[in-house]
Structure 1
Amino acid sequence: MLVEILRQVYRPSRRSLFAACAITICLPFEATFAQDNASKEESIFLDDIPVILSASRLSQPINEAPVAVTIIDRQMIKDSGAWDLSEVFRLVPGMYVAYHADPYFSADSTVAYHGMVTTTTSDRMQVLIDGRSVYSSLFGGVNWSDLPIVLDDIERIEVIRGPDSASYGANSYSGVINIITRHPAESQGASVSLSEGPGRSEGVFRYAGKEGALSYRLSASARHDKGEADLVERPTSLFKFWTLNKYDNKTIQNFTLRTDYQVNADDTLEFQFGYNGGPRQVGEYGNVSAVRRQAENHFEMLHWRRVLDNGGELSVQAFHTVERVSATLQDSDGYSNGDATLRRFDLEVQHTFSPFKNTRLVWGGSVRYDQTTAPYYLGVGDNQYLFGDFPYHLRRAFANAEWRATPDLVLNIGGMAENNTYTGTDITPRIAANWHFQPGHTLRLSHSRATRSPSAYEKVYEGYWRGADFYPDLPILRPERVRSTEIGYMGKIGKIDVDMRLFNDDYSDLIDVRNQLSPASGNLNAGSAMMRGYEMQIKTPIGDNTRVIYGLSGGRVNSNNVNGVIYSDSLPQYSHSLMISHDFNARLRGSVVAYQVARTKFNATDYNPSQNRYYFIDANKRIDARLGYQFNLGNTRAELALIVQNLANAHYFEYRHDNELPGRLARLNLKLDF
């Protein structure tokens, strides 16, 4: 069965892909009318519906959320065999992940929903950890290796597949990732995890305990990663630049502390602290590079919650983060100061209550202050930011209401009003209707608007392009905008959970500062694009011991492609992911994960047929596997696991023609729970 499923997934026929979509659309209707006992089906379905926390800031069954959501639970993370956190998102329909794609600021991965990316920073998606934004102020996006978190502390990840500025404001432009860590009470005791493989090693220690009303968890880890091979195995050109991979060796040291104190029956106080540091390489041969680069990042967060009558809640969250790198950069002109410091202060108040029967409302507001200091990256042109010290103020007010108009019809209405230093005031609304048209089957129709604010780097370059030698009358930089409409279906057909989505996203005012402006546009917000596509995810057990999760996505982008920015081909025509996990017995569990992505084109500067670097990067596929055996060592629970990534030893490129995925990588992991 496993071989047959893999064979079907890896047929790159467009006919078979759209046939799979058509079959999935038709199945629920055929199954619904074939059921003789609908009430029994509804009972089974309702028992299995997961509750999500992130889509509208209200706790909701996933089939009543106003936007599509993928849940990645602890078991999925474990079965995936992922080494980096960023790799987990290959399991999300519509997500594009490229290994170590950033050659300049950090040796890190690209994670981009819908592949709508022209830079390596993936700056069109918001990322939260326990509600705390880790979206970077300098370039936007996330430096995944710099996050103070280890995989085993994650309880689950909720990925909002679609714009959600109504809930989380600007930069929740194409989607939101909310990483939710485990409560200390769920992981009592001590554990040690050791991993070893060619070019990779890691040790993780965790201890969680409880003293009266106080629960706490300490986690510490050290990781060494040599990254890509120094030489490209199958270069597209013999020109030396294209035969060498990027500098991406790194050492990551993490320490995190979380405490939860039950003050009384109604009040809870949570405190978190995290640190991430260590040497990191960055850059590439013949370009900007820092063979030695030191990262030191930390955060502190305090979160107070009070339970109110009738299921309401009042919460106040405050956090402070510092991202700091120290580096000496080298290029053809000599040496430069590559130091950068990013500071953030954030305070948010949120109130949830039920104002009327069948209605719930969450509303609140927040203020934020960012300060970005980066002499090399922001010290451009003759402007006030020559020394790279750049402030940013943000004020927000939000509200989301859920109204159960009838037992089968749920309406979600919400929006965000925000004002920031760079672009002024914006309002981003959303309206959605979820109709349970048959027991166990739901249709969702939604429309939303979202924005992305310029990064500090983009705002500085606005002043550069407005200089006397370029475009003194350049229009003021505006936020990027998107209008998104989707039709979604969620249902249970027998034991099969189906989640499908058709979407239409209209992008406007797209920002580009890295390419030469054309006299015709003379506008940093000249870009526009129309994206239409589909997504599907299926989860089903096969027997009592096997679990299958399959994802499919695809679509097309039409764009004016101004200023040399290519959006038209930025969405792969299809991508697959397939996870099959199986319990052989109570002690032995195995999993196989397969990925396939159609040919892609994200970087216009790659195009050079004379050096065998063509407009498209070839399609690729990869298979990972994990086999874990649990046993006891006295009173200690233990697991020994073999993880192999890129099982077939495929050598292919992601994102650029000098970004070759490492060949087969195997490692052993031993975990002990005391």
Structure 2
Amino acid sequence: MAMSLEELSNADISMTSAAKKEQSLSEIPAAAYVITNEMIRRSGVRSVAEALALAPGVQVTRISEFNWQVSLRGLNEVLFNKLLIMIDGRSVYSPLMSGSFWHTIDTLLEDIERIEIIRGTAGTMWGGNAANGVVNIITKNSRDTQGHYAEVAYGERSYQELNYRYGATINDKLTARAYVKGVTGDYYSINDDLWRNLRGGIRADYEDVNRQFTVQAGGYQTKSNHYWYYADFYQDPANVFTYTDIDIYSRGAYASFDWYEQTEKTDYELHLWLDANSTNEPSAQGEFYTIDVDTLGRTQLTDRHELTVGAGLRTIYRRFMDYPEELLNHVEPWGRFSNDPRGTDVILNTYAQLESQLTEKLTSTIGAKFEYFSLNDSVEFQPQARLLYTYSPRQQFWAGIGRAVVTPSFVDTKTDSYFLGNVEILGDADGDGDKEVVAIRPGIVITKANEELKNESVVTIDVGHRFAPTPSLNIDSTLFFSQYNNVRMEGNSAWECTFGECLDGSTIPNEVFILLENYSDNLDVENYGFETAIRWTPFESLTLNTSYSYIQTEATCSNHFSCDIDLTTGIKTKYNNQPSHFVSVQSLWDFAPGWQLDLWYKYKSAVDTPSPYYKEPSVSTVDLRLAWQHQPHWPRVELVVDGFGEHAYSELQGKAPIEETIYFKASWNIQ
């Protein structure tokens, strides 16, 4: 609370993710947004994923008390793979599905300096997965986190959190910190499934006149307990399903080294990181070990031209769950196996980008990246071209076009997934000619891997305008159009077994049905929309951060049964029936000395469609935070109400309901 809201509003916000160098937002020819530490703290969120809803274009869907799915510019799904997530430039995506498991992505929120978000293609600088955008979580330098920091929180549904961080100065050039964070609570609001999350890490920063080193390391473990069941189709029909408990865990560890060197005309960077993660979750059971090295050189060719070149190598070793000898003896509600469970995959890239000052007001950015993926032996070209016109210090216009691809995933090419269900047998039971359900049999749907898939790609054209008519008002708007090719969808399907009789002549007890399908790349998608972010400080004690997004999506395909225009299920139908309007309004109010009252309104429009599977009501919620801190060196006490006044509701059809949650938090920063 040391800075006034007016000072925060008028600060010249900068970011590093657009061109891998520090830039003011007014210098970036792309849709860029920064979520500041102040915005995160005063939103009352308990996770990084929740905080992303503050930004325009980002859709955050809560699927449990401690898990989320996050997408950018639509195409929202659990395995969303078109958004690159990083912490201090270290990718935290999963090689399994080229997306992110958000319940494993977290850190001490107090130590986040800002979250940088680039919307639109960023393949030239960042490569695979930067298709719809980039989220880079930037943590504070250890010199800015000295002394002790402690935080304790307690609330409904068994929620408890305890965090501690200590920072120290080794000498005038070297500082360090270490932290530990522990969270426990009910995984769902409707039952007492236990959730536990323990993580910790260290960071050390060395700074000389022209040289800087940063070393980080840490790890995490999440664990949840659930009421579970499995099927043994070789048992007596009365005992097909066995109910039990299951403990699901995720574990991970990482280490990174970042080196920055400055000379008179050239800057050099070297980034090295290692990551290991594993889980026993049935649909993701396996281990992945990654080592990544990236180099960069930035040279001022002339007074008007700056060239950035770089290259990178990533090696991924996988050890996944292979097929059991007899699948039908123990069938989970869902799961995943591989016929090629062990192997090493390589990603190579090289890129160049030229920034030119064409005139006093006009700047251009032209670049391209070549990237090689060994998983499917493919090479991709990811170019971009951008223009920035600085009409005045308070007003800028920009436009850009770029192509990016999605990193091929182990899910699509090397694994078979399945889920249990029921098959309804229709017949004319009473002889009146009307079809009705006469019997129900157990069924398994198996989706087979497809090694012939082409890489998903997207070409995006966007234009933007930034305007600050007064020091207290900033308006940032963007129009975009994207064309996606080779998007994943369900492939052709056929019955392998009906009433327990299979095509290969074998027999399965209990008249089990098995449906086989595969992944296909037949789907093409177009989407377009408008995004705006407005920051307004009408009074020194009040700031409003507002964002609005409008998104329209149309998916098309041909020569495939899932392309039927009247189909009511499938990814094509799902993409064509997604919310169009998203609103976020955060008010930050210092209403008395030492007191803060903050409100956060979020709105997602309804989906009104003939398909019963994707019909969604609109969702409006208000979060409330009341905080008191007598002096900067005193403890800060907070009351947070998440979903004020809300009874059970679901942010996505078929997901667990969410309810109002109240919790208290106290924190103390001792320098």
Aligned to 2:92: 134
**What's the TM-score once normalised by structure 1's chain length?**
0.80
Query: Who is 1:532 aligned against?
Result: 528
SS at match of 1:534: strand
Answer whether contact 1:379 1:387 (CA < 8 A) is retained: no
Q: CA deviation at 1:139?
A: 1.9
Residue 592 in structure 1 maps to residue 599 in structure 2: yes
**Which residue, out of 573, 579, 592, partners 1:572?**
579
Q: 2:390 aligns with which of 432, 436, 445?
A: 436
Partners of 2:75 and 2:575 within 8 A in 1: no
In the other structure, the counterpart of 2:239 is none
Equivalent of residue 214 in structure 2, options 256, 259, 270: 270
The residue type equivalent to 2:584 in the other structure is S
Q: How many residues align?
A: 584
- What is the distance in 1 between the residues matched to 2:227 and 2:407? 27
1:487 is matched with: 463
The alpha-carbon distance between structure 1 residues 403 and 649, as it changes in their structure 2 partners (threshold 3 A), is same
Number of the residue aligned with 1:250: 195
Q: What secondary structure is seen at the aligned counterpart in 2 of 1:541?
A: strand
Give distance in 2, aligned partners of 1:272 and 1:186.
15
Counterpart selection for 1:166 from 115, 124, 141? 124
What whole-Å deviation, never above 9, does each CA across 1:513-538 have from its counterpart, x for those lacking one?
588499xx997210001111100110
Q: Aligned-pair distance for 1:658?
A: 3.2
CA contact (8 A) 2:490 2:518 kept: no
Instruction: Note if contact 2:544-2:588 (Cα within 8 Å) is conserved in structure 1.
Output: yes
Q: Following the alignment from structure 1 to structure 2, what is the Cα–Cα distance between the partners of residues 128 and 71? A: 14
What is the alpha-carbon distance in structure 2 between the residues aligned to residue 96 and residue 208 of structure 1?
A: 35
Equivalent in 260, 272, 286 of residue 205 of structure 2: 260
Unmatched tracts of structure 1, length 5 or more: 1-43, 232-246, 330-336, 465-469
- Displacement, 1:82? 0.5
Within 5 Å, give how 1:335-346 maps onto structure 2: 339-346=285-292
The answer for the alignment partner of 1:228 in structure 2 is 188
- Displacement, 1:313? 1.7
* Alpha-carbon distance in 2 for matches of 1:144, 1:669: 23
Structure 1 pair 211/296, CA: closer, same or farther in 2 (3 Å)?
A: same
Q: Return closer, same or farther for 1:344/1:505 CA change in 2, 3 Å cut-off.
A: same
Task: Please state if 1:511 is matched with 2:488.
Answer: yes
Q: d(CA) in 2 for partners of 1:377 and 1:224?
A: 34
Instruction: Map 1:162-201; keep pairs closer than 5 Å.
Output: 162-198=120-156, 199-201=158-160
Distance apart, 1:455 and its partner CA = 1.1
Deviations, residues 150-187 of structure 1 (Å, cap 9, x unaligned): 21111100011111111110111111100000001111
State the partner residue of 2:544.
548
- Which is strand-richer, 1 or 2? 2
State the match for 1:26 in structure 2. Answer: none
Q: Which runs of 5+ in 2 are unaligned?
A: 1-6, 232-242, 328-335, 419-445, 496-516, 563-569
Matches within 5 A, 1:3-22: none
Look up the equivalent residue of 2:163 and give its one-letter code.
V
Contact 1:592–1:625 (8 Å) recurs in 2: yes
> Do structure 1's residue 362 and structure 2's residue 308 form an aligned pair?
yes
Write out aligned runs for 1:117-156 (5 A).
Answer: 117=76, 119-147=77-105, 149-156=107-114
Q: What is the match of residue 418 of structure 1?
A: 371
Structure 2 residue aligned with 1:87: 50
Q: Percent identity?
A: 19
Amino acid of the structure 2 residue aligned with 1:266: N
Could you say what secondary structure the match of 1:457 adopts? helix
Q: Once the two structures are superposed, what CA deviation does each residue of 1:610-646 show, in whole Å capped at 9, x if it has no partner?
A: xxxx5311111000011110125xx952100111100
1:79 is paired with a residue whose SS is helix
User: Which residue identity is paired with 2:169?
Assistant: K
**1:317 and 1:573 mapped to 2: Cα distance?**
39
Q: CA deviation at 1:221?
A: 1.2
Question: Does residue 1:299 correspond to 2:254, yes or no?
Answer: yes
Quote how far apart the aligned CAs of 1:357 are.
Answer: 1.4
Distance, in Å, in 2 between the alignment partners of 1:137 and 1:538 is: 36
Q: For residues 494 and 382 of structure 2, what CA distance do their matches in structure 1 show? A: 29
Are 1:375 and 1:387, in contact at CA under 8 Å, matched by a contact in 2? no
Q: Aligned partners of 1:185, 1:205: CA distance in 2, in Å?
A: 17
Tell me if 1:502 matches 2:456: no
Question: What residue is the counterpart of 1:21 in the other structure?
Answer: none
CA distance in 1, matches of 2:301, 2:534: 37
- Contact 2:195–2:225 (8 Å) recurs in 1: yes
User: How large is the RMSD of aligned CA atoms in angstroms?
Assistant: 3.4
Aligned to 2:22: 59
Task: State the one-letter code of the partner of 1:478.
Answer: K
What does residue 99 of structure 1 align with? 62
Distance, in Å, in 2 between the alignment partners of 1:402 and 1:498 is: 25
- Structure having the higher helix fraction is 1
In structure 2, what is the Cα distance between the partners aligned to 1:387 and 1:421? 15
Give the direction of change, closer, same or farther, for the CA distance of 1:220–1:506 in structure 2 (3 Å limit): same
Residue 655 of structure 1: how far off its partner (Å): 2.2
Q: For residues 358 and 147 of structure 2, what CA distance do their matches in structure 1 show?
A: 47
CA distance in 1, matches of 2:144, 2:12: 22
Tell me by how many angstroms 1:51 deviates.
1.9
Q: Which one of the candidate residues 71, 78, 94 is aligned to 2:41? A: 78
Q: Secondary structure at the match of 1:120?
A: coil
Report SS of the residue matched to 2:579.
coil
Greater Cα radius of gyration, structure 1 or 2 = 2
Residue identity matched to 2:296: Q
Matches within 5 A, 1:443-462: 443-461=397-415
How far residue 338 of structure 1 moved from its aligned partner, in angstroms, is 7.0
Quote the Cα distance in structure 2 between the aligned partners of 1:250 and 1:214.
37
Distance 1:641 1:389, change over 3 A: same
Structure-1 separation of matches of 2:491 and 2:204: 44
Matching of residues 341-420 of structure 1 within 5 Å: 341-375=287-321, 385-386=338-339, 388-420=341-373
What SS does the corresponding residue of 2:46 show, helix, strand or coil? coil
Between the aligned partners of 1:58 and 1:289, the Cα distance in structure 2 is: 53
**Whole-angstrom CA distance in 2 between matches of 1:394 and 1:387:** 19
From 5, 10, 13, the counterpart of 1:50:
13
